DNA sequence: CTGGCGAAGTGGTCTGACCAAGCATGGGGG
DNA sequence: CCCCCATGCTTGGTCAGACCACTTCGCCAG
């Protein structure tokens, strides 16, 4: 391992991560006690704690007060109940991400309505039809992904490098935040919010009709609606 | 913050995250020293360290040994490197940057009108007065910088981490483009466009008056006007 | 067998100290 | 006059030991 990890914590993290990934410690197993690890590795407990915390923030382990740290099952996360605490960020961040989406998707729709190529219009139609077809019977995760695919298609149709760039950054880097918002809404209302379908249709129609202002308004309203569910 | 965070670290994290997202600390700013925070919050430095580390693992801050912790720009990486030479890029890029500004500064003004602190309102007044005072007799470069300073002040007053992040990226990375637009306008009309002053005043007044919708409209119109000069 | 209780073990936090790396300042050399 | 670097202050990194809060588990009384 040619690693030249700088810092004791980083070295410890590498060491433990290897053990975890290599299966010396399998999901459900408990990690050694912090005091034991400190002595074993010849470092202070504070260092061990930071290392364990790093692993926790990466989702590799879970720590219980008085109960030790346990290796996680990596596939269990992302299940229907993602337990928003780590995955979704603070309420405030969720709010800000949605505000950003509101402005961004409004502009994306605006430009898409004016500049989408025939091929892009067709792709959008296809995606919209597919989205509409399956409707329910999908996991929240798949719904969120389908939703972002739809909006990303519109962003791409804007033929606006900066809009596309920002969309990519937002949709990938903050996917878990967006997902958490949708997930939270679903858990509260019990089902897919009734307005969403109609809103998607309105955006879709406006873009295809080439009515830019209407598309912008529709897109903004769509996000505003979702955002509103959040604060309610 | 109606949070019922369990654990001192979690409380501290919430507190700091709030400050970051709300813009009390904007990208590029340094966080207080760990010792200072420990004293300020009445906790030990170990607790502060864990909290800072949490923020770091969420990508909100970056920590440097001996150099403090700084608030990150959430959108910096992942954005295209423009490689804009002195010329100011293609007409198309100029157009797109200005379109981005139109959307961004509209939202920035909107939020600034609602959330600017008294200190920020005063700073904005000062900057506006200074801007107005010198008027002519400045180089184009200084004018462009003053213009961006004015708009950056508004962005900072939005207390919106994502808006600030995007503004920073746009204003620094695409400064040459923005400069080229202004430069081109000046060369064509021979002087500072007549509408600009009044537009700045309108934005300024709307923000200070706390009229969010009006501020958004004014900011959008301002950029739209400049953009129009471009294509004419 | 059951229920409660307490000891032992674990993570959470505090304190204070020292080490290491950045940074500002000022003096010396060019 | 300017540039460079030595040095001291500031900042984060690590350490050691202590105490508190929570969980676990086994012992003992009922």
By residue count, chain A amounts to: 232
Q: Which of residues 24-53 of A touch strand C (CB under 7 A)?
A: 31, 33-36, 45-46, 49
Q: Do B22 and A92 touch (CB under 8 A)?
A: yes
Contact between chains at B78 and A103 (C-beta distance less than 8 A): no
Interface ipTM above 0.95:
no
Quick one: which of A58, A117, B22, B97 has its CA closest to B14? B22
Instruction: Quote the CA–CA distance of B21 and B15 in Å, as a whole number.
Output: 10
Q: Which nucleotides of D are covered by protein (CB under 7 A)?
A: 10-18, 21-24
Q: Once rounded to an integer, what is the mean pLDDT over residues A163-182?
A: 87
| Domain segments of chain A as ranges | 8-71, 84-231
Q: Tell me the HSE value of A4 on the side-chain side, using a 13 A CA sphere.
A: 0
Chain A contacts to B (CB-CB under 8 A): 46, 49-50, 53-54, 57-58, 89-90, 92-93, 96-97, 99-100, 103-104, 106-107, 111, 160-163, 165-166, 168-169, 172-173
Query: Per-residue pLDDT averaged across A198-220, rounded?
Result: 96
Better-predicted residue by pLDDT, A76 or B7: B7
> What would the mean pLDDT of A116-142 be, rounded to a whole number?
85
| CA→C1' distance for B198 and C23 (Å) | 44
**A218: pLDDT strictly greater than 90:** yes
Q: The tokens of A181 are what?
A: 């918002």
Per CATH, A8-71 and A84-231 having the same topology is answered no
Q: Cα A58 vs. chain centroid, distance in angstroms?
A: 15
Cβ–Cβ < 8 Å for A177, A97: yes
Determine the 3-state secondary structure of B23 from DSSP.
coil
Reported as a single tens digit per residue, the pLDDT across B88-131 is 667 888 888 999 999 999 999 999 999 999 999 999 999 999 88
Tokens of B50: 């864990």
**What is the reported pLDDT for A25?**
81
Q: What's the average pLDDT block by block, 10 residues per block, for chain B (232 residues)?
A: 61 89 87 91 90 88 90 74 60 89 96 95 93 74 87 93 90 88 80 83 97 97 89 70
What is the architecture, at CATH level 2, of domain B91-231?
Up-down Bundle (1.20)
Closest chain B residue by Cα to residue A168: B78
CA–CA separation, A212 and A201 (whole Å): 15
Tell me what pLDDT residue B137 has. 65
| Interchain proximity A103–B104, CB inside 8 Å | yes
Nearest-CA neighbor of B97 among A163, A168, A115? Answer: A163
The tokens of B152 are what? 């950056």
Q: What is the per-residue pLDDT for B3? A: 41
Angstrom distance (rounded) from CA B143 to CA B123: 18
CATH of range A8-71; options 1.10.10.10, 1.10.357.10, 3.40.50.300, 3.40.50.261: 1.10.10.10
- Using a CB-CB distance cutoff of 8 angstroms, which residues of chain A are in contact with residue B97? 162
Asked whether residue A205 carries a pLDDT value surpassing 50, the answer given is yes
Token pair of B182 as six digits: 């202004």
In this predicted structure, what is the pLDDT of residue B145?
86
Check B103 against A100: CB less than 8 A apart: no
Q: Which of A134, A115, A128, A122 is nearest to A199 (CA)?
A: A128
3-state class (DSSP) for residue B180: helix
Which tens digit of pLDDT belongs to each residue from B56-66?
888 889 999 88
The confidence score (pLDDT) of residue A1 equals 41
- The torsion angles phi and psi of A41, rounded to 5 degrees, stand at -90, -5
CATH match of A84-231 with 1.20.120.530? yes
Give the ranges where chain A is alpha helix by DSSP (H): 8-22, 34-41, 45-57, 84-87, 91-115, 118-134, 140-157, 161-173, 175-189, 194-209, 212-231
Q: What is the pLDDT of residue B84?
A: 55
Residue B89: C-alpha distances to residues A66, B86, B180 (Å): 60, 8, 8
Pairs across A and B, CB distance < 8 A: 71
Q: Which nucleotides of C are covered by protein (CB under 7 A)?
A: 9-17, 20-23
Structure token pair of residue B75: 């959108």
The DSSP annotation for B39-56 comes to HHHTS-HHHHHHHHHHHH
Q: Do A90 and B161 lie within an 8 Å CB cutoff?
A: no
């Amino acid at each position: 391992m040619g690693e030249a990890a700088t810092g004791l914590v980083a070295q410890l993290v590498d060491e433990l991560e290897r053990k975890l990934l290599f299966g010396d410690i399998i999901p459900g197993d408990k990690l050694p006690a912090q005091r034991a690890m400190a002595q074993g590795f010849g470092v202070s407990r504070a260092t061990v704690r930071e290392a364990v915390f790093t692993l926790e923030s990466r989702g590799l382990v879970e720590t219980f007060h008085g109960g030790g740290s346990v290796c996680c099952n990596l596939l269990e996360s992302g299940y229907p109940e993602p337990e928003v605490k780590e995955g979704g960020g603070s309420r405030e961040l969720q709010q800000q991400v949605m505000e950003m989406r509101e402005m961004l998707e409004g502009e994306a729709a605006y430009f898409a309505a004016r500049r989408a190529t025939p091929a892009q219009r067709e792709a959008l139609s296809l995606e919209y039809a597919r989205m509409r077809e399956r409707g329910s019977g999908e996991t929240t995760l798949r719904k969120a992904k389908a939703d972002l695919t739809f909006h990303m298609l519109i962003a791409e149709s804007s033929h606006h490098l900066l809009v596309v760039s920002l969309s990519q950054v937002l949709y990938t880097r903050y996917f878990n935040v967006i997902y958490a918002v949708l997930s939270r809404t679903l858990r509260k209302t019990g089902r897919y919010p009734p307005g969403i379908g109609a809103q998607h249709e309105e955006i879709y129609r406006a873009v295809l009709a080439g009515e830019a202002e209407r598309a912008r308004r529709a897109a903004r309203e769509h996000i505003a609606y979702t955002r509103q569910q959040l604060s309610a």
